[in-house]
Structure 1
């Protein structure tokens, strides 16, 4: 069923998320890539969401599987921890991802736990909706999937310096190397 809403990241029937970035090289090409995605809908595939980077350069596909992914070429992740209010009613308008190269499964968990421990006890920026930390199944990546009300809200949070302490953790943790993070808007989605 097509629904064009952000995926429910902490969906209980999902065991694996396959996350695939793809270079588009322009806004028109982003839509073309989504239209051309002839993904076979296997019985274990429960949702697919396509996001366009705000810089027009790429498309991110976020596919959720209840069973072992079939025919997927992206990085396989498992949700490790989420920060989200159970009474949250705001609708996400912007996805922000941050990806980190890490030295193994132990480093993955330690890094995420350190980030969460460094977050303020209060709600943080008013535009922040949720954060979902994914660990790649091969132990080499951490992906932080964060939902924001708008792109502008995330820009304001970045410019305010609220992320400075977290950046020090990114840059100062042995065995962790930050890779590129991007802002995205939802292009299309479907779910069962």
Structure 2
């Protein structure tokens, strides 16, 4: 089995069960009490580097003491075989800052560290976001098998909200497409980034949707391209969640 296949198989990094947490599952994006979301993304350079980054960072979090303000920290492996995405939830900025202050220098580096930053979601460290609005699923709940990260650069909070509100009005507030589960729009604290955390049943389902209603020249892309102060930064597909989610 290749490194990428190992990542996508969902093989656990946990050294043992941790009371009160689920291991290697998708986070509950709309969970109650999540006041701060941290998102960062790295380029590990190769499938081997990707696996090493996932192993190292997940192991550091398995070993770290986790305060009550910690809700989740999940790492994902890009289907490109090199990128890594981090999605973390805390009750508040204060809870996260207190946690960071309590770590020694080595622990901070192991917990926050990653390969070279990709650059279209964050810089070398996590960017702070707030969940703004969501496109909700049609019908009964489905289990996600793929996360699609869609990023935008925006000129400020007004442009960011205009983008998200307009998309939800255009689509009708319901996640479209066969295989699409839900989309969760996050706006960075400074208003310069929007990240859509979009849940799909499989990466293949998203590929089919891109070739259909989300193709360039369609109504969604036409709306985005017509907005002032909004720059699309593309998307990446991620699988294989690795981390801890408070139950």
- What is the TM-score of this pair, normalised by structure 2? 0.72
Q: 1:145 and 1:180 mapped to 2: Cα distance?
A: 13
2:176 to 124, 128, 148: 124
Residue by residue over 1:88-135, the C-alpha shift from the partner in whole angstroms, topping out at 9 and shown as x without a partner, is 321111111111010111111111001111115776212000010000
Offset of 1:87 from its aligned partner?
A: 6.1
- Check whether the contact 1:52–1:186 (CA below 8 A) recurs between aligned residues: yes
Do residues 10 (structure 1) and 30 (structure 2) align?
A: yes
- Which residue of 2 is the match for residue 59 of structure 1? 84
Structure of larger gyration radius: 2
Q: 1:111 and 1:124 mapped to 2: Cα distance?
A: 17
Question: What SS does the aligned partner of 2:208 have?
Answer: helix
Bigger proportion of residues as strand: 1
- What is the TM-score of this pair, normalised by structure 1? 0.92
Question: Which range moves more in the overlay, 50-59 or 179-188?
Answer: 179-188
Gaps of at least 5 residues in structure 1 are none
- Check whether the contact 1:102–1:141 (CA below 8 A) recurs between aligned residues: yes
- Which residue of 1 is the match for residue 145 of structure 2? 93
Question: Which range moves more in the overlay, 89-98 or 34-43?
Answer: 34-43
- Which residue of 1 is the match for residue 162 of structure 2? 110
- Which residue of 1 is the match for residue 237 of structure 2? 183
- Check whether the contact 1:76–1:137 (CA below 8 A) recurs between aligned residues: yes
The within-5 A match list for 1:23-38 is 23-37=43-57, 38=60
Bigger proportion of residues as helix: 2
Offset of 1:26 from its aligned partner?
A: 1.4
Gaps of at least 5 residues in structure 2 are 1-20, 101-111, 113-124
Structure 1 runs (4+) deviating above 3 angstroms are 39-42, 85-88, 120-123
